Amino acid sequence: MSNINVLTIFPDMFNALNFGITDIAIKKELLNLNVINIRDFAHNKHKNTDDYPYGGGKGMIMTCQPVITALEAIENKGHVIYVSPKGKPLTQAKAIELNSNKDITIVCGRYEGIDQRIIDNYINEEISIGDYVLSGGEIPAMVLIDCLTRLQDGVLDKEAYENESHYNGLLEHGQYTRPEDYKGMLVPKVLLSGNHKFISDYQLKQGLKETFLKRIDLLIKRGINKNEAKLIIEELPNMKSEILDLIKDEESENVQIR
């Protein structure tokens, strides 16, 4: 079982996880989600968790005492994460790396953030879900929890997430369901053939095409080989030169030959 602790001043926000995959994982006892109200650990009369910053500036900062007291009360903190726009980007590869931790604790900031002394002394890693600023860490924490839950053994079939976008460095191919013909819009014949190799080849080709058109940066990072370039050219013959430019020699820093 994976154990995730969350520190927040708005614990009710995490009721949103009582649906879908996270709810299934909790009910199957594959995930233990421990949501902790930071205010419960504040020693002051009014249970305040913030104060004005030293050095001036607008906005409030979450104070050391309630956050640190809450952290120190957790028996199995494991890997402690602060969700922050300053953090490392959350990618599928990062999620797989984090999933190796049995215990994870996520600290959700509010206002202008948390006292730097908490980060310096108690946080193992800062994680960002994108280059933008939100009102607090609760939504990024829920994104991270959902992402990690999908990777837990027994939550999904391995094949279910290995075929999804970003798992293998490509965007996912298009998906179709019944009916075969809707208002003249047809499902590609190869998907109806029953030939698993043809279907697999077709889906790889479509994934390569989708990635080239929508996220070429992923192909540059992942690398493509000559056979993959050929598959993309079959779909996009007018862009042959741009596709061939992605194939570099083995010394290239940008593209790996596979």
pLDDT in tens, 196-206: 999 999 999 99
Q: Which residues pair with 217 in a beta bridge?
A: none
Average pLDDT over residues 104-123: 97
CA atoms of 27 and 36, how far apart (whole Å): 19
CA atoms of 62 and 39, how far apart (whole Å): 11
Confidence of residue 258 (pLDDT cuts 50, 70, 90): very low
pLDDT for 205 equals: 97
Look at residue 110 and tell me whether its pLDDT is greater than 80. yes
Return the higher-pLDDT residue of 45 and 159: 45
End-to-end Cα spacing for the chain = 36
Q: Using a pLDDT cut of 70, give the percent of the chain over it.
A: 92
Q: Name the one residue in this structure whose structure tokens are 């053939």.
A: 193
CA-based torsion, 72, 99, 143, 211: positive or negative = positive
pLDDT for 159 equals: 59
Look at residue 217 and tell me whether its pLDDT is greater than 90. yes
Q: Which domains does the chain have, with CATH numbers?
A: 2-157 (3.40.1280.10), 163-258 (1.10.1270.20)
Look at residue 254 and tell me whether its pLDDT is greater than 80. no
Look at residue 37 and tell me whether its pLDDT is greater than 60. yes
Look at residue 256 and tell me whether its pLDDT is greater than 60. no
Q: Are 79 and 124 in contact (CB under 8 A)?
A: yes
pLDDT for 166 equals: 64
- The CB-based long-range contact list for 171-177 (8 Å cut-off, 24+ gap) reads 171/207, 171/210, 171/211, 171/214, 171/215, 171/218, 172/207, 172/210, 173/202, 173/203, 173/204, 173/206, 173/207, 173/210, 174/206, 174/210
pLDDT for 249 equals: 52
Average pLDDT over residues 99-104: 97
Q: Which of 7-21, 66-80, 130-144, 162-176 has the lowest mean pLDDT?
A: 162-176
Three-state DSSP class for residue 45: coil
pLDDT for 162 equals: 57
Average pLDDT over residues 36-45: 96
Q: Report DSSP state, residue 156.
A: B
Three-state DSSP class for residue 169: coil
> In this predicted model, what pLDDT tens digit does every residue of 140-187 receive, in sequence order?
999 999 999 999 999 987 655 555 556 678 999 999 999 999 999 999
Task: Name every residue whose Cβ is closer than 8 Å to that of residue 243 and which is 6 or more positions away in sequence.
Answer: 212, 229, 232, 233, 236
pLDDT for 169 equals: 86
Longest dimension (CA), the chain: 70
Q: Report DSSP state, residue 228.
A: H
**209, containing H or E segment:** helix 196-214
pLDDT for 158 equals: 64
Look at residue 14 and tell me whether its pLDDT is greater than 50. yes
Q: Report DSSP state, residue 48.
A: -
pLDDT for 223 equals: 86
Q: Report DSSP state, residue 15.
A: G
pLDDT for 28 equals: 95
> In this predicted model, what pLDDT tens digit does every residue of 74-92 receive, in sequence order?
999 999 999 999 999 999 9
Q: Are 137 and 114 in contact (CB under 8 A)?
A: no
CA atoms of 102 and 1, how far apart (whole Å): 7
Q: Are 85 and 113 in contact (CB under 8 A)?
A: no
pLDDT, the chain, mean: 92
Question: What are the φ and ψ backbone dihedral angles of 10, each rounded to 5 degrees?
Answer: -130, 70
Q: Which of 109-123, 133-147, 241-255 has the lowest mean pLDDT?
A: 241-255
